[in-house]
Amino acid sequence: MSTTPVWFPTEETMKLSPLYQWIKELGFNSYDELYEASIKDISWFWGEAEKRSGIEWFRPYEKVVDLSKGKAWPSWFVGGKLNLAHNCLDRWLKDPEIANRSAIIWEREDYKCEKYTYNELNKWVNQVANGLKQQGISKGDRIAIHMPMIPEVVVATLAIVKVGAIFVPSFSGFGADPIAKRLDSAKAKMLITVDGFLRSGRTISVKEEVDEALSMVSCVEKVVVVKRMNRDIPWVEGRDIDWKELETGIEEFETEIMDSMDPCMVVYTSGTTGRPKGTVHNHGPYTVKGAFGNGEKQPGGSGGVNFWITDMGWIMGPSHVFGSLLSASTMLLYEGSPTKPSIDRLWEMVARHRVTYLGIAPTLIRSLMQYGEEPVKKHDISSLMAIGSTGEPWNPEPWNWLYEKVVNKRFPIVNFSGGTEIGGVILTNTTLKPIAPANFNARGLGMDAQVYNSSGEPVVNEIGELVLRQPWLGMTDGFWQDPKRYEETYWKKWKDTWVHGDAAIQYEDGYWAIIGRSDDTLNVAGKRLGPAEMESIIVEHPAVLESAVIGVPDSLKGEVPICFVVLNQGHKATDSLLEELMEMVTKRLGKALRPKAIHAVSELPKTRNEKIIRRAIRSAYLNEDLGDLSSMENPDSIEEIKQLMSPLKK
């Protein structure tokens, strides 16, 4: 993959970055100088980050970080007292301009729109916080949330945090089994959900799925239902509560004072087995990291309109909500499909609401590319100041299309990589350095990242394990009620070293790339190959919309690549086309890495936020246990791949 930069910072663009001013204030001349200082003394750096975040403490902390329990278990802002929700809402109300600024813009798929100011949102949250107290919810209780991106999901989340309880978000597209697993693992006392919602022009039933999940667990005492669609739904007397009953009308609430290391949320992340991992995020670290991180990315400071295509079940959902509020910005919420009812819906919303910061996944852009530039040009998207992306590796072609055709090279696409367990970014793109398509130009500040080979040695120009050598602000405080599994997952391979599970490469020119998950990386006759390398070549063909590459066992080479492609409209999977794709790969990567086969399918297995699930493709193709597929948006895609089952398994 090329590391030739296409975007270069200027004095004018750097001055738009709040980070640039901060670097100068701290006495450094460049991002790289500050980065080196940030990993040399993590206590100093995160202390400076806390000062910059401007958050309010009920009681000041005495020490930035305590590592007496080891690097896997840092305690941050020792002795400090605060509340995440207070810093999202109450602290802003003293400023009349912010108090009357829109905190939420909600657009439904049917185009109806609602807006709520910071002042209105705070009063609503206080009403619901009082309602939760009346229902017996108190500090430390876990409350699960299974809702789409509607205003009530924000209100519920903030109210839970205000009362000192812990919220447990669940992906709104989950079926009964994954919902039940998360409820049971967290021992949730209450579940807040909806009767249904709109997506792709259809009413999605939710309450019935929730009831089935509840039949599998015994911990949930109360179920609060937002009647979003006013559907006729089953109702369990004594257990089910109408959301309106939580809206007490009492608009004052005394926020619970929390210790810095008290948990505020448990976000589950799927693994390769059926048992999800509950990542724990705490009031102090998450509040400071959220305020600091969002301020770092926000061009021109606070007050913009943020729009991430996401769901509360993924870490980007809470990050969208909290990051917007911690920076006194406006969040745009959208519960439906970004391509419905018309293919230009995304750009239409950007124009209508004057979005300044857009967050997308590469797969969504790949799917929009096939329709060309016309759907974009119909709308004035000049309000955009930045586009961020995360979740999966880019290919250069869609990155360049977005940069050149959509934003007309006004600003680069800021790709970053982190994770639910990270609470921020590991690798990123800073607009203070040149940016190359589909790569990263920097490590996140305070993130002591390296690429290790199998012997645990740092390597350059070689695919290896992405690791972190020091703790960082925002990292998960273990797994919920499962400290041993947390240590075995991340800290067992090398002493005092977090092994992230991503295969990565650090190029000698300073750029970085995520190749894929470590277990996605192919080893073909001793040559390591990331799926994205081959996929990037295949999607360059005008007939190909998207691609996924897996490795399967081979008696001669140990492992060989198998490619799956989805074709653009108007193209057919002829033998000549598939052979042409085969030759493209062979010519670029060499005969040794020639795919064993290329299969055309109608769709690839994906999560709701458009991440391709390669392990599901491999398991289906090899007729192996599919593991946890609870995050999958389109389970029917698996059946098509099973029909193509590897000759090894037939």
Quick: pLDDT tens for 456-478: 999 999 989 999 999 999 999 99
- Residue range 217-246, pLDDT digits in tens: 999 999 999 999 999 999 999 999 999 999
pLDDT in tens, 300-353: 446 899 999 989 988 899 999 999 999 999 999 998 889 889 999 999 999 999
pLDDT score recorded for residue 280: 98
Average pLDDT over residues 591-598: 86
Query: In angstroms, what CA-CA distances link 333 with 309, 345, 353, 387, 423?
Result: 8, 14, 11, 16, 21
Predicted pLDDT at 649 = 60
Q: At what angle do helices 283-297 and 18-25 cross, to 10 degrees?
A: 110
DSSP 213-267: HHTT-S---EEEEE-SS-------TTTEEEGGGT--S-----PPPEETTSEEEEE
pLDDT per residue as tens digits for the range 3-53 = 899 999 998 888 888 899 999 999 999 999 999 999 999 999 999 999 999
Q: Please report the sign of the dihedral spanned by the C-alpha atoms of residue 75, residue 78, residue 81, residue 85.
A: negative
Coil, helix or strand at residue 47: helix
pLDDT tens, residue by residue, 526-580: 566 778 778 888 998 999 999 999 989 887 777 889 999 999 989 999 999 999 9
Q: Please write the tens of the pLDDT for every residue from 79-134.
A: 999 999 999 999 999 999 999 999 999 999 999 999 999 999 999 999 999 999 99
Q: Domain 92-101+117-259 belongs to what architecture? A: 3-Layer(aba) Sandwich (3.40)
CB 471 within 8 A of CB 74: yes
Q: Is the pLDDT of residue 608 over 80?
A: no
Q: Which residues contact 161 (CB under 8 A, 6 or more apart)?
A: 83, 84, 85, 167, 264, 265, 283
Return the pLDDT at 272.
42
Q: What is the pLDDT of residue 274?
A: 46
CB atoms within 10 A of CB 464: 24
386-389 and 240-242 as β-strands: parallel, antiparallel, unpaired?
Answer: unpaired
**Closest to 243 in 3D by CA, of 132, 166, 334:** 132
DSSP 3-state assignment of 66? strand
pLDDT digits (tens, 9 = 90+) for 255-308: 999 999 999 999 998 654 447 889 999 999 999 999 987 555 544 446 899 999
Looking at the chain, the domain(s) classified CATH 3.40.50.980 span: 92-101+117-259
CATH 3.30.300.30 domain span(s) along the chain: 521-643
Burial of residue 501 (CB within 10 Å: 0-12, 13-18, 19+) is middle
Mean per-residue pLDDT of the chain: 91
Is residue 324 within 8 Å of 102, Cβ to Cβ?
no
Tokens of 68: 């007496």
Whether 345 contacts 109, CB under 8 Å: no
What pLDDT, on the 0 to 100 scale, is given for residue 299? 47
> Looking at 79-124, which runs of residues are DSSP E strands?
81-82, 102-107, 113-117
| Calpha distance 640→622 (Å, rounded) | 13
Counts for the chain of helices (H) and strands (E), in that order:
21, 32
Is residue 329 within 8 A of residue 174, CB to CB? The reply is no
Whether omega for the bond prior to residue 341 falls within 30 degrees of 0, making it cis, is: yes
What fold, for 521-643?
GMP Synthetase; Chain A, domain 3 (3.30.300)
Q: Indicate the pTM of the whole model.
A: 0.84
Is residue 159 helix, strand or coil? helix
Q: How many CB atoms lie within 10 A of CB 469?
A: 16
Structure confidence at residue 588 (pLDDT): 78
Cross-strand partners of 502: 517
Q: Give me the amino acid identity at 440.
A: F
The whole-number pLDDT of residue 609 equals 61
Helix locations, 528-607, DSSP H: 531-538, 575-589
pLDDT grade, residue 593 (50/70/90)? confident
Distance CA 355, CA 383 (A): 6
* More confident position, 419 or 32: 32
Instruction: Please report the pLDDT score of residue 516 as a whole number.
Output: 73
The confidence score (pLDDT) of residue 269 equals 83
Q: Enter the tokens of residue 249.
A: 């009308």
Query: Any idea how long the chain is?
Result: 650
Percentage of the chain lying above the pLDDT 70 cut: 95
pLDDT single digits (tens) 142-192? 999 999 999 999 999 999 999 999 999 998 877 787 888 899 999 999 999
pLDDT of residue 616: 87
Q: List, in sequence order, every residue forming a beta bridge with 566; answer none if it has no partner.
A: 546
Query: What pLDDT does 273 receive?
Result: 42
Non-local CB neighbours of 83 within 8 Å, separated by 6+ positions: 58, 161, 162, 164, 255, 256, 257, 258, 283
Instruction: Report the chain's C-alpha Rg in angstroms.
Output: 24
